[in-house]
Structure 1
Amino acid sequence: MPLSALPPSPTASFSALKRWCIGWANSWQPVHLALVAIVVLVLAVSWWLTGKHLRAQLAQAEQAARLQQSGLAAIVSENLSQVLEKAQLMSVVALQGMHHDGGPWQAQLAHMLERDRVFLRMAVLDKQLQLLAGDPQQAALLHSLLPYQQGSCAAGRGAFVLHQQAQSQDQAWQVPLLLCMADAQGVSLGYLLLYMDMGYFLGLYQDVDLGGSGSLHLLSPDGSVIAAMAGGGLLAQHPAQRMASFSKVPEGPGEMELPGPQGSTRLANFHRARYMPLTVVVSRDWNEIRAAYAQNAQRTWAVLGAITALALVGSLLLWRTMQRRQHLFNALEKADQDKQQLIALLESEKQRALELAASDHLTGLHNRRMFHELVSSHLALARRSRKHYALLYLDLDRFKHINDTLGHHVGDALLQAVAQRLRTMLRSSDIIARMGGDEFAVLITAMEDPSDVETLAQKLLTGLGAPYEGLAPETLHTSPSIGIAFFPRDGHDVEVLCRHADAAMYASKKAGRNRYTYYDGIPKLDSDRYYQLARQLPSAITQEQLVLHFQPKVRLEDCRIVGLEALVRWQHPQYGLIYPGDFIALAEEHGHIEALGDWVMQACCRQIAAWRMQGVETVPIAFNVSPLQLKDSAFPSRMATYLKHYGVRASDIQVEITESCLVEPVGLAARVLHQLQQMGVSIGLDDFGTGFSSLSQIRALPINTIKLDKSFVNELRSSKEAGVLVTSIITLAHNLKMQVVAEGVELMDQLVYLKTAGCDVAQGYFLSRPVPLAQTEALLKQGILEPA
């Protein structure tokens, strides 16, 4: 064989590769210079864009503060206008009584005063200041104060705030309001003097978050401070204190800046309603408003500076590497190591973010969403295992009493102590979660013997029932009620197991608390009743045994009823009125849910047509649609048939779906929803936040309305994070052109917070329970639904 035919030696091959790399590096030096220039340009653009973005964030923060303060000032001013209208109504009653010289007008005034807590005392005087009704001492006060009032009642009609020297701390919040009673020609006929309880009035807004430096002032027309509130507490005011900047302000909203302590300035938004003698001023220190922005900007600049430094250093290192040909492979290895470090850092940050999203903020346990994911994963393994699995639901007995009597901080400490005991009593392989409130869930994994769960349940009863020391001045005592469901005996998926364990837990409570109950040990409705309902449900649908109840949806802007939610009930001839929780599951289990859904849809159309025939002004009616109905391609055509048959517009109907309808694959469901939207039917997403969807996932679907789940509303009082989350959801939904409906509103402070946060519509027991047809007609004719 000739030498030329021999393969090259390894040394020669390596030298050739090295020479090729050096030549390649030399040829790419101009390209590298261009790359360095591009990096510098990109960094410069990044700094410019970052500065622009931060300025936009600052403008958004300032605008949000303005909108919040202006909205609060408008709300308080509107409430003051309502108070003045009540006072004017009392003056009308008094004036009519004076004209007719007798009658029950004095008793009527006393009754009106007794019903309205904002007014404490009153006095009615004629134009010679002679007492006609009310407190003689207040009449004497009017004798002494009236000559000194600017803009006195000599000109005729009007309402004025009288200035007086308070004799005690309680009297500092009792503001005299003078109303002049005049005839049609403006001739003064008398006076009505009322004392307003500003402490009670401002107490309605104590739960409103004004911030650390925020304050709310009520001023008289000359700028004198009548009452004030800061940080959720009332402030005692000096009679001579004035805010001269707000003297003689015009009617309507306004804004100005005020000097603050130590050279700072305050953003002040004010509002004065027409004919109102009081100006509402809401103010907050600019430094506090911009504090969050300043911290974010500092972090952003620091991160950008670090990234810039890393980019420049990297470019320099790469340049030096290209110059030093002999260190080519070392430089490549170092670059690979740097890349791996960055990847590891990103992975660790991602893991940290996932842990925060999957944990309960109070106890550190898994939250409901993560618990469902972990249990689903374990059950998938359990199907191929011979081990036994059980799901336990635990609820603390009489926890609400502890929370209400000792305070939320004691209740939170008790929940943390319970979570710690659960960690110590259970294995690391078991899954523990806080499902919400005082309810916990545990998945016991890989048991050798099903009887082991009984030993564990008894251990939990003993351990969690032991006294809790150091959480409150006295020792706390509570006990758990436990429900147990076995896999796969009591359910094949996490939803069914949770529902059955929850039912068993309520059976424990019903049996006397502080005990555990197996799901298979409780009757299913009573077995006879269960099978009777399952057998009779199809005939109930065809024989019109089903009825609709309606719950109104109230627009928060003006308390007007803008919609109804239809809720189906079964008027059983033997068992009476049966609620959906007792037969919806039967309909799904036995394949009747589509027929039931069609009946509800047809009944809504029929009821709208009947109301219009009676001359009742209707509003859109919403009803729930099951995932099975959305899998039926004929569903839109059936709805179009019903709309045409009853002569109902598509805009009078709203379809509400749950997040379970959006679980992949969603192709057919999405096509059905788009067909409904093309028909003009509005689509709402019910129970938003309890499933796995997000606003980013549903923005491509034809969703017009999202309904905040009541779990968010329930936590508004006890969790600041819940309030931030609710506000963020509302803002994002509005940016996506969606309306937001809050369900489960049961308290006034929840309603105030939702209105301040910009929520559009609310429904719940605080406004109205679901009511039958006759009461619904009365509500529609009434139109306005004021909170109880």
Structure 2
Amino acid sequence: MSPPLERDAITISSLQGVLIALAMLVILATWIFAGYQLRQNREQVLDEHKVILQNLSLVVSENINQVLDRTEAFKTLVRLQLSRGELPAAGPLATLMATDPVFTRMTVYSRDGRVLNSTSATNLPRLQQGWQASLSHQRTWPINILPSEALGKSWSVPLAMPINTPGRSDCCLLVLEMDLGYLLNLYQNLQLGRETSIHVLTAQGAELLRAERGGLVTGRSAFDNTVLLKSRLNQGTTRDLHTDNQRYYLGHFAKLERAPLVIAVRQSESEALAGYHRQRNKFLVSVVIITLIAAGGLLWLLRMMHVREVQLRELQQSEQRNMKLLARLRREHEDSVKAASRDHLTGLYNRRLFTELGHSHLAGSKRQGRFAAVCFIDLDRFKAINDTLGHKVGDNLLQEVARRLTDNLRESDIVSRFGGDEFVVMLTAVKQQADVEQKVQRLVDVLAAPYPELEAGGLATSPSIGVAMAPRDGMDIETLIKHADIAMYRAKRGGRAQFRLFDSQDAAQEVSTEELQALIPEAIERGEFQLHFQPRLFLRGYETGGFEALVRWESPQQGLLMPAVFLPLVEQQQLMPALGYQLLRQLAQQLRQWADEGLDILPVALNLSASQINDPTLPGQLRMLIEEYRLTPGWLELEIGDQDLQHLGDQAIRQLRLVSELGVGLVMDDFGSSEEGLQRVSRLPFNCIKLSPALIRHIRNSFDDNVLLSATISVARKMRLRVVAKGVETPDQLVYLKLAGCDEAQGFLFSRAVEEAEVRDYLQTPKRKVKL
């Protein structure tokens, strides 16, 4: 590092230290001030509550003094009667006591404790022992307190007043019993807290009563009252410990001058400080926020300084960093290209890269005048192996197949995996067909050999391989793949561990058109035409949305024939309505079988020819099949080709409307193959349009690739039509269709047409995995 940069770095570090110190001082000062402020607030709150307790104790003392004042009236009345030489009459005193809210009974006792007179109707016993000793300690007060045990009662306070009368040596002691219920009524309107209480104590420390939030309580006190009893002050503040809950209570006491009574009011500090604690928490949250803001600001400043320091250091290392960055970008680019062009399980090329490399090699083979061969390989019994032994064994098997293919082919050959158990190989620079057959037979033998290295020892499978030669069977890679797939299907039908070369002749099995035409009527009668089903997937979530039923001719003489071979001949013989009705019935039977098995039925679409559409019996046939097989009409969809619509008359259009009224869905097939498609779709109650493969064939994962396709999908969605794309074969096409708003898709990228046994897997597990 150069000296200027070093000096600059030292300056920045010093400034950082100063900023950190200042920030820490600010934060420390903030917390010191916060602590001081909280302490001041706490003391202020406690002082306020002490004043409240003082006022409450004085109010209670005043109430008790008013009660004591009432005793003077009774004392005067009794002294007057005794001065006349008469015992107080029970009747007048009883009348007076009945109207008094404070006292429940008045009794006059002799000096030895005998009852001289009482307002009570019952005979009262003598005062119990100990009362004279108790009164001897209360001579300094004009009104004394008898122990409640002296009267045998606990729910009253006996107030005793000596009365001296001339001429009577045994007279007298006046006892007024104060009702505690009066005090209950007096204090019940006070808004006492949960931990606030009023205590009425005797000068000796006995607790006569305690008023709490729930009412009056008598019994043992939970406080040590020694301090306030010994105090020479008439009133004062205390801080007492509650012996039960071990909490400190603020208190204020007041001593009465006319009776040996002490009034004490107490409240727990926790209750007194409850509001303070809430305010303290809010205050602390504010201080914490301020602290975090200060710390965050400091960190931001430090980070900005650190960034500048790093930038200064990186000036000297820019070349090295740029080189590392370029190297990393190259590695990432290579990894992304590999990920986009390789199958993640086997490491082989995927469909996309195989197609691109195939185009390049076909061009090279044409210039060199040599052949190229595309081999479509499908593993026999792979689904059963995967289901019985598990996906792990299945994945290991696929990896081992990929290894054997790579080891037994040249570096110039192209090996790929399209998905599932489908592998596609291009043999390049082939001189003659015999070389291809020899190499393919070698692949059959290698792949059919046992796989002892797998966990399931002794596991064996075999390949079915279809071969298409270029340029004989096609000039472009898509056609070669399609023809190799057809040849593979024929090899699989012929038995396991076989390969077949594609035959491009119309008859496909060295049979003439005349022979096929002769076989078709009997084939219809024997039911040799069977339906295969190609799944349609929702592009959102990749769940199965339905199927397209495609017809295949399983001829005993010629094997499996594709529709392009025999359908034109069926049309020429005007047998299409009969075949169409047979296929409709076959589809209805299949739907009913799936429903009886408890499967969730998805819509299945079947193509209609122009002759079927013009058949006036079509609506009646559909109605009869729906009723006979107890079908939900929505399970059926009929596809009408875009080219066929231009030949429909008014009668055919009315028939299609009748079909729609049955609840059967109508789909316009090959939409976009003519210019009048949008005009025709508005004339009939179509539920869906199926895009022509020509519209998506040249998509290369750019939204600008096909403006016409984007506009078509947009217009269809505005017309509330479901849009299905068929012939989807590459990930680029799939990505583009999703971005353009297409609803569903079908094609070799997902699956070829399968037999009805494999459809059950789609119905039981609609969610599919799509490997791009």
- Give TM class, smaller chain: 0.3 to 0.5
Larger radius of gyration: 2
| TM-score calculated relative to the size of structure 1 | 0.36
